[in-house]
Amino acid sequence: MHAGLFYFRCAFTAAGKRLVKHSIKMENGCEITLSLYCECRFFQLETRSISMRAKPTSFDIAHMAGVSQSTVSRALRNSPLVNKETRDKIQAIAQELNYKVDKNASNLRQQQSRTIALLLFEDPTTDDSKINPFFLSMLGSITRACAAEGYDLLVSFQQLSDNWHADYEDTNKADGLILLGYGDYVDYQDKLHQLQDQNTHFVLWGAVDPNRPGISISCDNFRGGYKVTQHLIRQGRKCFGFIGTADHHYPEFFERFKGHSVALEQAGYQHQPLKLDAISSEEAGKAALNQLLEQQPHIDAVVCASDTIALGVMEALKERGYAVPEDVAVVGYDNILLSNYVSPKLTTVQQDTTAAGEMLVKTVVKMIREEPVEDVILPAEVIVRESCGNTG
Amino acid sequence: MHAGLFYFRCAFTAAGKRLVKHSIKMENGCEITLSLYCECRFFQLETRSISMRAKPTSFDIAHMAGVSQSTVSRALRNSPLVNKETRDKIQAIAQELNYKVDKNASNLRQQQSRTIALLLFEDPTTDDSKINPFFLSMLGSITRACAAEGYDLLVSFQQLSDNWHADYEDTNKADGLILLGYGDYVDYQDKLHQLQDQNTHFVLWGAVDPNRPGISISCDNFRGGYKVTQHLIRQGRKCFGFIGTADHHYPEFFERFKGHSVALEQAGYQHQPLKLDAISSEEAGKAALNQLLEQQPHIDAVVCASDTIALGVMEALKERGYAVPEDVAVVGYDNILLSNYVSPKLTTVQQDTTAAGEMLVKTVVKMIREEPVEDVILPAEVIVRESCGNTG
DNA sequence: CTGAAAGCGCTTACAG
DNA sequence: CTGAAAGCGCTTACAG
């Protein structure tokens, strides 16, 4: 005869019962088939510990606690509706079984995902294997801020050409989007408008442009460019060049350039500021510097729209035999980790990535909650190091 | 009289119909309430473009296409069962409405999530705001590899003390886990065992240790340590020190150290290799170097278990007036971006992060599909730069 | 305070 | 090739 427990894998029927079939071969050759409804599928083999156990569900907990499944659900969500004793008992059982609420079911029911998607995109020309180090440092603070708000973070690298504008929130994979990228603003303007039309919750990192759709968080690019240029002027630099594509395609760079120009103007510079285009890459920086020197060989200060550009500029200057900062001062923007290690150490403008990450997350969470939000401009701080010639 | 379309917000009843109620106040004061069942809730206001539209569902598409919802589902999944014409029509409608399959529903039904969770963890002593740059570079390749396999990536920074061991897969948020971290292996060994007991699909980055539970992907830490030491010996270095906590708590560092020791032994070194503990931080590297110099002031080569440590070591050497590489050669491990920018440029061991990211993702995907998997050891390559004194 | 029931939006076995 | 139906595992309005 058979004795002991049998292990059944079975399916719930509609009412939360499960139909179970199990056949037993008897020693005399007979075969008995059991068909039964049972209320709990969470059996455990006691004799062997083959752990083929399916994951426990709230129905299993309910059965063990002798309450209804609704009560289990309430108890696990700490609803004040349920009796403290019952609640404690249910939670204890859940813990013991290592029960975890199924997020798909819970999200489906609640029509939310408690997830924020971070979409990183860059100019397609950028080397595919490298990510702008500035974004990477934002990533850390965004992840932490998400965790603090109780959201998960879905990360995705996008090409500007991708269909990112219509995927994450529509799929219910995320409740909101954070868009982080350097890139041609004009290229994706349409997509941003589409996001807005769809009432997607999204927040942008970048220039606060009144015509730009949606909400953006940024550092004060204008004042950053202004202050760093002012510093160079005080150091006695006379002949300036700005490197970085600064027009409405790249509004962040444009703001930095505007700050730069105003600083020069206020210092009494007569002529139009010199400006060379470059996207945020070392190669582009090198190429632009070489052009700059052709136009103006007596340059003694180069303001770069990003640290990555500045790295290329310093390299190119060295190759051409210029000493930094003796002959030419160079300043960057972003304060990436590298900028403090290159030689000479790079003077740059710090964007507070911790504050930025927090603001991005907080803002998108507010949007999800349908609370009012507004653009934020965080302060920018000049970090004086060696490449500008004076640490005073 | 009223004319035109009304906008109804309504709920499906069980059969996929929706019960709608709408009251209209007539001019004579009467009020008419309409109660009706309708089959499609995806109405659009034609006169105004207030886009309060709810997201379309497969039922809406079905209604518009004049087919059943099952057929819509099949068509959108490109099932060969459905007639090509019907399929094209359905897909066209879906596209026009910008319909997207709800992932929560689809995942719930299919009991999978098509998501991989990446859990990054570090020693709690590490500065909270900085992430090891090596991980950051892995992150990029993992993200891309996930996308290539059709998986989403959930990112989470963990403390070793957190309850990460039992959260992601149990919650159905992810089908599999990638664990990435430097940290005390002994501390989380228990958790790894628990993961394994739960049949969680997880893959580790790190040392391939036969006693370690689960599958791991790693670079050949032994050969890396061996080869870089051999290079220094060929350069004529005589008096070696190794910096990094190399014991069973940190199996990766331990392997590197073993390679280092064997290289010395083969070169005929008699005495026990000198070894100082340090976790992977600049501060720890500095502190360890200072200790090392007290024990052995005539050191002329320092092998570091990570680039981050090497950075601290170089800094400390400079502070103490030693020239790198003239007085002391320094080598690191990881080839982080910075290592190519510091002065002198750091000789290091490259771990192929692109290949590593791909292997991690491919392996965890195989586990999810219940296919056989095995440990992988990727080759390690010495990158000779300036800090070891010779580029030959 | 608790339970029975409906429903979130899909996928897929089953029956034509 | 197509449709009706069940069911994934929850949450929550409704009724006691």
Judge if B127 and B89 occupy the same domain: no
CA atoms within 13 A on the CB side of B25: 2
Q: Which pair of tokens denotes residue A124? A: 């397609």
The predicted structure's pLDDT at residue B254 = 92
Helix, strand or coil, per DSSP, at residue A105: helix
Asked if residue B8 has pLDDT above 70, the reply is no
Q: B36 pairs with which residues across the strands?
A: B20
Judge if B198 and B240 occupy the same domain: no
- Total Cβ atoms within 10 A of residue A82: 20
Asked if residue B46 has pLDDT above 80, the reply is no
Helix, strand or coil, per DSSP, at residue A209: coil
Residue labelled with tokens 């507070």: A352
**What is the domain-level CATH number for residue A179?**
3.40.50.2300
Domain limits for position B140: 115-219+354-375
Judge if B29 and B90 occupy the same domain: yes
Average pLDDT (B128-143) is 74
Output the furthest CA–CA distance in chain A (Å, rounded). 109
CA of A34 to C1' of C12 (A): 27
The predicted structure's pLDDT at residue B197 = 77
Please give the Cα distance from B241 to B277 (Å, whole number). 11
Average pLDDT (B221-243) is 94
Average pLDDT (B97-113) is 88
Please give the Cα distance from B108 to B172 (Å, whole number). 9
Domains held by chain B: number: 3
Judge if B311 and B200 occupy the same domain: no
Question: Which of A96-105, A197-206, B169-178, B323-332 ranks highest by mean pLDDT?
Answer: B323-332
CA of A271 to C1' of D9 (A): 70
Residue A267 lies in a domain: yes
Asked if residue B130 has pLDDT above 70, the reply is no
CA of B55 to C1' of C16 (A): 33
Find the Cα–Cα–Cα–Cα dihedral A78, A80, A85, A91, rounded to 10°: -10
Chain B positions in Cβ-Cβ contact with residue A173 (cut-off 8 Å) = 103, 152
Question: Which of A19-28, A123-132, A186-195, B169-178 ranks highest by mean pLDDT?
Answer: B169-178
Judge if B255 and B284 occupy the same domain: yes
Q: State how beta strands A152-159 and B152-159 pair.
A: antiparallel
Asked if residue A83 has pLDDT above 50, the reply is yes
pLDDT confidence tier of residue A37, bands split at 50, 70 and 90: very low
CA atoms within 13 A on the CB side of B386: 11
Contact positions of strand C to protein Cβ (< 7 A): 1-13
Mutate to test the interface with A, among B172, B194, B308 (most CBs of A within 10 A): B172
Residue B204 lies in a domain: yes
Please write the tens of the pLDDT for every residue from B323-369. Answer: 999 999 999 999 888 888 888 999 999 988 889 999 999 999 999 88
Q: Is B155 within 8 Å of A153 when comparing Cβ atoms?
A: yes
Asked if residue A22 has pLDDT above 60, the reply is no
| CB distance B168 to B107 below 8 Å | no
Q: Which pair of tokens denotes residue B353? A: 């992060």
Of B267, B268, B287, residue with least CA distance to B277: B287
Residue B131 lies in a domain: yes
Least confident of A83-87, B10-14, B155-159, B328-332: B10-14
Q: Name residue A39's amino acid.
A: E
The predicted structure's pLDDT at residue A163 = 60
Residue A384 lies in a domain: no
The predicted structure's pLDDT at residue A229 = 96
Closest chain A residue to B344, measured at CA = A343
Q: B381 pairs with which residues across the strands?
A: B350
**What is the domain-level CATH number for residue A58?**
1.10.260.40
Judge if B169 and B258 occupy the same domain: no
Asked if residue A49 has pLDDT above 60, the reply is no
- Quote the crossing angle between the two packed helices B282-295 and B307-319, to the nearest 10°: 60
Please give the Cα distance from A206 to A229 (Å, whole number). 21
The predicted structure's pLDDT at residue A28 = 28
Please write the tens of the pLDDT for every residue from A277-293. Answer: 998 888 999 999 999 99
pLDDT confidence tier of residue B321, bands split at 50, 70 and 90: very high
Judge if A193 and A264 occupy the same domain: no
Please give the Cα distance from A386 to A235 (Å, whole number). 12
Residue B288 lies in a domain: yes
Judge if A183 and A240 occupy the same domain: no
Distance from CA of B129 to the nearest CA of A (A): 7
Residue B149 lies in a domain: yes
pLDDT confidence tier of residue B18, bands split at 50, 70 and 90: very low
Judge if B135 and B176 occupy the same domain: yes
Residue A386 lies in a domain: no
Average pLDDT (B273-288) is 91
Contact positions of strand D to protein Cβ (< 7 A): 1-13
Judge if A189 and A263 occupy the same domain: no
Please give the Cα distance from A229 to B200 (Å, whole number). 55
Please write the tens of the pLDDT for every residue from A209-242. Answer: 777 788 999 999 999 999 999 999 999 999 999 9
Please give the Cα distance from A215 to A376 (Å, whole number). 8
The predicted structure's pLDDT at residue B73 = 92
Q: What are phi and psi of A371, to 5 degrees?
A: -85, 155
Q: Is the CB of B106 under 7 A from strand D?
A: no
Residue labelled with tokens 């002949």: A239
Judge if A292 and A316 occupy the same domain: yes
pLDDT confidence tier of residue A159, bands split at 50, 70 and 90: low
Q: Which of A104, A130, A144 sits opposite B108 (nearest CB)?
A: A104
Residue B320 lies in a domain: yes
Which protein residues have any CB–strand C distance under 7 A?
A: A 15, 67-71, 74, 80-84, 86, 105, 108-109, 111; B 11-14, 19, 54-55, 57-59, 69-70, 73-74, 76-77, 99, 101-102, 105-106, 108-110
pLDDT confidence tier of residue B182, bands split at 50, 70 and 90: low
Domain limit, last residue, from A108, A143, A167: A108
Judge if B233 and B343 occupy the same domain: yes
| CB distance B256 to B225 below 8 Å | yes
Please give the Cα distance from A95 to A89 (Å, whole number). 10
Please give the Cα distance from A78 to A72 (Å, whole number). 10
Mutate to test the interface with A, among B60, B135, B137, B152 (most CBs of A within 10 A): B152
